Structure 1
Amino acid sequence: MAALPLMKLIRLKGVPILQQLHLEERLLRTSPHNWCIINDGTNLPHIVMGISGKPAELLEINSVLRDKVPVIRRFSGGGTVIVDTGTIFVTFICNKDDVSEVQPYPRPIMSWSSLLYSRVFQGVGDFVLRENDYAFGNRKFGGNAQSITKNRWIHHTSFLWDYEINNMAYLKLPKRAPEYRLARNHLDFICCMKEYMPRTNFITRTVDALQGEFSVETTDLEAVESPSNTKFIHSSKILTERELEEAALG
């Protein structure tokens, strides 16, 4: 029987989402290893948009500016989310050759990850991959995004363990909403994982499921921090107030 490919695991708690995105992009583009990054919550609320997202179409910009909510444009595709201490982030960064059964396109990658999460949620709720989302029944609790390079890909998910109702008012109903949303507002469309399983159980089950696919080796953040002489330009960034104001003016 062939040995399982190695995956390095980094477990974080409360790391700022921009720092996490910078780490992910650097590992995707400069590391030869497979990685799983689990970040249990982020310190302050941030709105995170996909690389091609348009603020005027996705955000209630006047409210965002009034309340000084930071807006990040990340390096990967996907939709717009608002994240905070109630969000759990799970990221897989893989060499194509180590998961050769997965075609390097968003849909096959999501199908692969949904099989892994079906083990995580076995006996819990009615877990399903609906279009690009993870849902219990017809209510979303996980949003996905990918970035694919020549030899590697990243799949990262923001899981709503809990959320602040007021924060959802910063997000517009997107023009390109998934069909199963059926024009429901945010509160009717999403649900909280906390209604289905404890936070620590989810993280433990995710690591257990991963060990069925990879030889998992835990490492810490300090071991992968970039040396100061390593030149790498991150593409995830916080949009300036001026950029948001210009977007609001069209």
Structure 2
Amino acid sequence: MSASPTRSVGLPLINILRLKGVPILQQLHLEERLLRTTSDNWFIINDGTIDPTIVMGISGKPKELIHIDSVIRDDVPVIRRFTGGGTVIVDQATIFVTFICNKGAVPDLQSYPKPIMSWSSLIYEKVFQGIGDFRLHENDYILGNRKFGGNAQSIIKNRWVHHTSFLWDYQKSNMGYLKMPKRAPKYRQERDHLEFICRMKDYISRSNFIDRTIDAVGNHFVLKSEDLEDAQNHLSSNFAPTSRLLTREELERDLELERTTSNSLMDDAALIS
């Protein structure tokens, strides 16, 4: 799908890469390589990933964000990605949308987090036009007052990446691996995960969301279809991406530290009482 001749005049070119079921770590490696070793604009949709996987931001600390004992027990993979943002658990029911752009690709857009977020929300305002009560609120995409899309970014000298995990659906049991984050948006109001998030499938079909997103992007870019092999041909083999799986040893070390800290706090409380 591409922009019509009428609306494409003067628009920048963006390569569109449609994926299905690509493992999230592979996707993150691809994104960072495209960001840092190419000079093209990229628009990526990955319709679902494989096994449930926890993905943390670049500065995320497992003991603060996840129930490590449950994660180890159930052998849930944990990834620290190359971008900022919060912690999510993703699976086959998650839809991933990524923009990788040169500074200047979007006219008058300043390459800072808030302007990029605001610009991205214009895409999804178009997607959800007439569907629910869509808003960008405190860096989240929400319907009503419940979150369905989490965002993360990385901004380098001449380029930026903005990617989103959309909860088309989710398993309630998977949300139990996540702790209440210390730095939560105010509108969350200490709601637990199941009260804070919603399922996009209650508002729009999976295929309709993807089609409408592609069409909305076509208002801002000329779309050029690429496949995964084409995209990989653009890449430098010398670049080592930084997103990675945390090892079991790392998680066990954090779990031990968490227990030690908890025991110390209990001892201090006993002394005070």
**TM-score (norm: length of structure 1):** 0.98
User: Which of the numbers 129, 140, 143 marks the counterpart of 2:147?
Assistant: 140
Alpha-carbon contact 2:38-2:234 (below 8 Å) kept: no
Identity %: 65
- Deviation track 1:153-186 (CA, whole Å, cap 9, x = no partner) reads 0000000000000000000000000000000000
Mapped partners of 1:6, 1:100: distance in 2: 13
- Could you say which residue in structure 1 is the equivalent of 2:120? 113
User: Which of the numbers 189, 192, 211 marks the counterpart of 1:204?
Assistant: 211
Structure 1, unmatched stretches of 5+, are none
Whichever residue aligns with residue 133 of structure 1, its letter is D
- Could you say which residue in structure 1 is the equivalent of 2:267? none
Whichever residue aligns with residue 241 of structure 1, its letter is R
User: Which of the numbers 214, 217, 236 marks the counterpart of 2:224?
Assistant: 217
Mapped partners of 2:150, 2:235: distance in 1: 33
- Deviation track 1:162-212 (CA, whole Å, cap 9, x = no partner) reads 000000000000000000000000000000000000000000000000110
- Could you say which residue in structure 2 is the equivalent of 1:44? 51
Secondary structure of 2:121's aligned partner:
helix
- Could you say which residue in structure 1 is the equivalent of 2:268? none
Mapped partners of 2:234, 2:213: distance in 1: 30
Change (3 A) 1:204 1:228: closer
Deviation at 1:101, TM superposition (A): 1.4
Change (3 A) 1:104 1:237: same
Mapped partners of 1:136, 1:79: distance in 2: 19
Deviation at 1:99, TM superposition (A): 1.4
- Could you say which residue in structure 1 is the equivalent of 2:68? 61
Q: Which 4+ runs in 1 deviate beyond 6 A?
A: none
Whichever residue aligns with residue 85 of structure 1, its letter is Q
Deviation at 1:227, TM superposition (A): 8.1
Mapped partners of 1:87, 1:117: distance in 2: 16
- Could you say which residue in structure 2 is the equivalent of 1:7? 14
- Alignment length, in residue pairs? 250
Mapped partners of 2:235, 2:180: distance in 1: 42
1:160 aligns with 2:171: no
Secondary structure of 2:129's aligned partner:
coil
User: Which of the numbers 80, 102, 109 marks the counterpart of 1:73?
Assistant: 80
Whichever residue aligns with residue 64 of structure 1, its letter is V
Structure 2, unmatched stretches of 5+, are 1-7, 258-273
Deviation at 1:100, TM superposition (A): 3.7
1:127 aligns with 2:127: no
1:23 aligns with 2:12: no
Structure label with greater radius of gyration: 2
Secondary structure of 2:136's aligned partner:
strand
Secondary structure of 2:174's aligned partner:
helix
CA RMSD of aligned residues (A): 1.3
Mapped partners of 1:56, 1:43: distance in 2: 25
- Deviation track 1:108-154 (CA, whole Å, cap 9, x = no partner) reads 10000001110000000000001010000110000000000000000
Mapped partners of 1:116, 1:228: distance in 2: 28
Deviates more, 1:226-235 or 1:166-175: 226-235
Change (3 A) 1:182 1:233: same
